[in-house]
Chain A
Amino acid sequence: MPVAVSRRLFTVDQYHKMARSGILSEDDRVELLAGEIVDMSPIGSRHAACVKCLNQIFNESLQGQAVVSVQDPIRLGPRSEPQPDLALLKPRADFYANAHPGPQDVLLIIEVVETSAEVDRKLKLPLYAKAGIPEVWIFELSAKKVEVYRNPSARKYLVSETYTKKQTLSLQAYPHVNVDLSEVFRII
């Protein structure tokens, strides 16, 4: 039953205060999206395998040119701290020990979705665009395709393309880094 209520929104600082005071725990699978604390869906085995496979591909091909961040927080802005499935970050000696990476540190974000990607497409993607994340890939496991979003503007990505399982994707930040999608989708 949808009721138009005005929910209390939280800042990233309040969100972390909840963790310090035990209201949220490190084991809680939640993200802060536009001030709302959203429960993340349980991760299925195909989803997990896709992330593991991509992690290996990027770690081998990037050779330290980027930090591969797996399901860790990105501090997008004062009210958003999502945990994308995978993020490629500008290399930094401390691996972002002092503060979570911000939008300016992110080269690519990847979200993996089984079927319904409502949260990812309608809620997270506009936040990524607004924060200026230069490139987002959404892996759709059921359809075996990848949506690629580039050129962020204030509300959305101006460029979007769909790649199928036989194509090769290259990274905007490092065009020499290619991902053969058949390598990923053959395991799914």
Chain B
Amino acid sequence: MSVAVSRRLFTVDQYHEMARSGILSEDDRVELLAGEIVEMSPIGSRHASCVDRLTKTITMQIENSAIVRVQSPIRLGPRSEPQPDLALLKPRADFYAQAHPGPQDVLLIIEVAETSTDTDRKLKLPLYAKTGIPEVWIFELFTKQVDLYNPKAISLPAGVSARQGGFESGFSIDLIYEV
């Protein structure tokens, strides 16, 4: 049943206050997306394996030139704090201990999509574009396809570049993985 209701939206500060006051717990698999607290889908084994492979591949190639953040928060703006599957961050000595990285700290975001493509593409991708995340890759496990989005180069929201592999700023990854 779809009813047009005006839901209360929350700020990142209120979201963290919920964690401090026990309304949300650290074990809750939720993200804050445009003020809405959204439940994340359970991670299947193919999804987890893909994230692990990417983590390994990217970490080995970039060494110390970036930080690889896995399924941890990015503070996108006052009302959004997603937890992308993988984020490549500008290096920082404290590994962002003082505050979650903001959009200006992000080099690349990767989402692995098995079932959650609707949320990833329709809700999260526009937020990434709006906040200036320079590049987003969405790994589609069913179609074995990777979509690259570069919101700076292409107007949104249709900015799909369907080529596979390649990353302008220095390394490439082997996209052949078994799923």
Chain A contact residues, CB within 8 Å of chain B: 1-8, 10, 14, 17-18, 20-24, 28, 30, 33, 36-39, 41, 118-119, 122-123
Residue of chain B at shortest CB distance from A11 = B23
Least CB distance, B36 to chain A, in whole angstroms: 6
Whether B97 sits at the interface, judged by CB under 8 Å, is no
Least CB distance, B29 to chain A, in whole angstroms: 10
**Residues in A neighbouring B98, C-beta threshold 8 A:** none
Q: Which residues of B (9-27) have their CB < 8 Å from a CB of A?
A: 10, 14, 17-18, 20-24
Decide if A18 touches B18 in the complex (CB within 8 Å).
Answer: yes
10 smallest beta-carbon distances between A and B, as pairs: A37-B8, A8-B37, A21-B21, A6-B39, A39-B6, A3-B122, A122-B3, A23-B14, A14-B23, A38-B5
**A22 with B17: in contact, given A4-B118, A5-B38, A5-B123 (CB under 8 Å)?**
yes
Residue of chain A at shortest CB distance from B39 = A6
Whether B162 sits at the interface, judged by CB under 8 Å, is no
Chain B contact residues, CB within 8 Å of chain A: 1-8, 10, 14, 17-18, 20-24, 28, 30, 33, 36-39, 41, 118-119, 122-123
Residue of chain B at shortest CB distance from A41 = B6
Decide if A37 touches B7 in the complex (CB within 8 Å).
Answer: yes
Alpha-carbon gap, A82 to B1, bound state (A):
19
**A118 with B37: in contact, given A3-B118, A18-B18 (CB under 8 Å)?**
no
16 A-B pairs whose Cβ atoms sit less than 8 Å apart in the complex: A3-B118, A4-B118, A5-B123, A8-B30, A18-B18, A18-B23, A20-B21, A21-B20, A21-B23, A22-B17, A23-B14, A38-B6, A38-B7, A39-B7, A118-B3, A122-B3
Decide if B7 touches A2 in the complex (CB within 8 Å).
Answer: no
**A7 with B8: in contact, given A18-B18, A23-B18 (CB under 8 Å)?**
no
**A119 with B5: in contact, given A7-B36, A17-B23, A18-B18 (CB under 8 Å)?**
yes
List 11 extra interface pairs beyond A2-B2, A30-B8, A38-B8, CB under 8 A: A1-B122, A5-B33, A6-B38, A6-B41, A8-B28, A17-B23, A18-B18, A18-B23, A22-B17, A23-B14, A123-B3
**Residues in B neighbouring A10, C-beta threshold 8 A:** 23
Q: Which of A3, A7, A23 contacts B7 (CB 8 A)?
A: A7
Least CB distance, B21 to chain A, in whole angstroms: 4
Alpha-carbon gap, A185 to B9, bound state (A):
36
Residue of chain B at shortest CB distance from A21 = B21
**Residues in B neighbouring A23, C-beta threshold 8 A:** 10, 14, 17-18, 21, 23
